[in-house]
Amino acid sequence: MSQRYLVPFGPKQTPHLFTDVLVIGAGIAGLRAALEAPASLDVLVVTKDSIQQSNSTYAQGGIAGVLSPEDRFENHIEDTLVAGAGLCDRAIVEMVVREAPQQINDLIRFGTNFDEEDGQLALTREGGHSHRRIVHALGDATGHEVMRAIIERSRQAANIILWDRTFTIDLLTHAGRCVGALVTRPQHGQLLIWAKQTILASGGCGMVYRETTNPPVATGDGMAAAYRAGVELRDMEFMQFHPTVLYVAGSSRYLISEAVRGEGAYLRDKHGERFMLADDPRAELAPRDVVAQAIVRCMERTQHPNVYLDLAHLEPARVRQRFPGIDRVCRGFGLDITKDRIPVRPGAHYMVGGVTVDAQGKTTLPGLWAAGEVTSSGLHGANRLASNSLLEGLVFGAQCGRGAAEAASQMPDSFVVPPLANLPSSRVPKEVVPAPALDVADITNSLRSLMVRKMGVVRDRTGLQAAKHDVDFWCRYVLAQQFEDRPGWELQNLLTVARLMIGAALAREESRGVHFRSDFPQRDDQHWQRQVASPALNG
């Protein structure tokens, strides 16, 4: 049982705010969009936690771009298309790749300090890339430095207001278009924000899995809100699993960057054997889907819960200088990365699918734009190439910012509130348990464990159908409730996203990119070289 709006509200009881452009999400895509708006337009950026809490901040590897004389746009385009396994939109790939150098230069202009060697930008190589083309910062903390600069730049803009700790409950729609959002803030309660144009840049949904590199904020809120608003989503079967996530009891699932293998690290099984050589000629530098699936097979073969990254053959000083963050975290567990093998296994990392957008970042709902991980833009196809995600956020953030600003500037100021309301629910079936009796944390943990077991790196019909049965059951009584706090809303959003993901994975009866069906292990271009769209709730 689903609801259009998660909570009751009414225009006579709820405070209002009007703005030209509303940006939901303060990661790289959202802030890049905000910075494109001219000073004549008011921009409000809302994010549900602190400004620093986004997947963008936690990005380690870097940003891909053609910056060296021996590299070519055509090389980067081809690498992206190969990784995308036949589902990339070539026109989108070409647009993004060709804009990469300018976006990187813009970040430098905003104050980002990328790592340098001999006065030039230091470039590294990652899995799936044919050349060294990844710019990075602070060794292995690129996202932290990029976001520091872009947040600072946004705070300096007089027309941009940043609201943190502001949870977006739902998008508001009226007369067939998006007109803003319903949010809640501590000490303020619910607030209706009316916007001429709205940009959704709310990030991914890695928290739908127990094993994930994502921060706790990544609960798919934007995807679920868009679905309830009647927006088309697609490619929801394609969750990218990062092959190498630190696997130590008691640690958060810390990402061990792709760049570690890019710099020459080996993957070894519990016996010390390099197993990637037998799986793919590119060995450790194969794309993420290939490496993650090889690791899962190795774990099953050796009956061991993880594999190991080995950097012992690399120059120790260089390793510590290149990966200071990883070195610091591993030392906390008594591991010396220059000598000891690092235990790793795959974890949910990046949602390839999401809200359908065109080349400008327009969604299927007028007045709503979207950029970054919340979207399916056609750039990644069935598998994202390493270090193309921050790049996508920059390019599409700028596209959305320009487009939304232009559209908003053509609309006159109008401070009239449409007659939108959502009454307290009286539709909860009698057999459904009342909300206070629900253990939200227990259901959330059960969902996240289920997704690892049944919707992980390797899937099959039996497991997916079992997952669908359980998620549908939970949805019946959880989605019917009207919660009053963030954990309840996040659970409703996670369930909504999980149901879309499982449905798409059941539909795609082949293996392609990050979607591997053991019961359909081959790629089937004749029937499945197309995208799976998820039907919208009100579409």
- CATH code where residue 439 lies: 1.20.58.100
Q: Which residue has the tokens 């000490």?
A: 187
What is residue 140's predicted lDDT score, i.e. its pLDDT? 66
Q: Are residue 443 and residue 522 in the same domain, yes or no?
A: yes
Is 414 part of a structural domain of the chain? no
- Collapsing DSSP to helix, strand or coil, 199 comes out as strand
What is residue 51's predicted lDDT score, i.e. its pLDDT? 78
Q: Are residue 230 and residue 287 in the same domain, yes or no?
A: no
What is residue 259's predicted lDDT score, i.e. its pLDDT? 80
- The list of the chain residues with pLDDT below 50 reads 1, 539
Q: What is the CATH number of the domain that holds 280?
A: 3.90.700.10
Is 65 part of a structural domain of the chain? yes
Q: Are residue 391 and residue 469 in the same domain, yes or no?
A: no
Q: Are residue 114 and residue 74 in the same domain, yes or no?
A: yes
Query: Could you give the CA distance from residue 323 to residue 337 in angstroms, rounded to a whole number?
Result: 9
Q: Are residue 153 and residue 297 in the same domain, yes or no?
A: no
Q: How many structural domains is the chain composed of? A: 3
Is 429 part of a structural domain of the chain? no
Q: Which residue has the tokens 């990661």?
A: 27
Is 455 part of a structural domain of the chain? yes
DSSP 37-63: S-TTS-EEEE-SS-TT-SHHHH--S-E
- Collapsing DSSP to helix, strand or coil, 405 comes out as helix
Query: Could you give the CA distance from residue 107 to residue 150 in angstroms, rounded to a whole number?
Result: 7
Catalytic residues: 288
Q: Answer with the one of 302, 328, 346 that is the final residue of a domain.
A: 346
For 399-402, the CB contacts below 8 A with 24+ separation are 399/359, 399/360, 399/361, 399/371, 400/29, 400/33, 400/36, 400/199, 400/201, 400/360, 400/361, 400/369, 400/370, 400/371, 401/21, 401/32, 401/33, 401/34, 401/35, 401/36, 401/37, 401/199, 402/36
Contact 52, 43 (CB under 8 A): no
Contact 95, 39 (CB under 8 A): no
Q: What is the CATH number of the domain that holds 53?
A: 3.50.50.60
Q: Are residue 291 and residue 404 in the same domain, yes or no?
A: no
Q: Are residue 30 and residue 149 in the same domain, yes or no?
A: yes
What is residue 539's predicted lDDT score, i.e. its pLDDT? 40
Q: Are residue 383 and residue 478 in the same domain, yes or no?
A: no
What is residue 119's predicted lDDT score, i.e. its pLDDT? 87
- Greatest alpha-carbon pair distance for the chain in Å reads 71
Is 422 part of a structural domain of the chain? no
Domain span at residue 184?
A: 16-238+352-409
For the CA atoms of 175, 192, 375, 393, the dihedral, rounded to the nearest 10 degrees, stands at: 130
- Collapsing DSSP to helix, strand or coil, 524 comes out as coil
Query: Could you give the CA distance from residue 7 to residue 485 in angstroms, rounded to a whole number?
Result: 10
Query: Could you give the CA distance from residue 346 to residue 209 in angstroms, rounded to a whole number?
Result: 11
Is 171 part of a structural domain of the chain? yes
What is residue 433's predicted lDDT score, i.e. its pLDDT? 55
Q: Are residue 202 and residue 273 in the same domain, yes or no?
A: no
Main-chain phi, psi angles of 535, to 5 degrees: -65, 135
Residue 72 CB contacts under 8 Å (≥ 6 apart), including other chains: 66
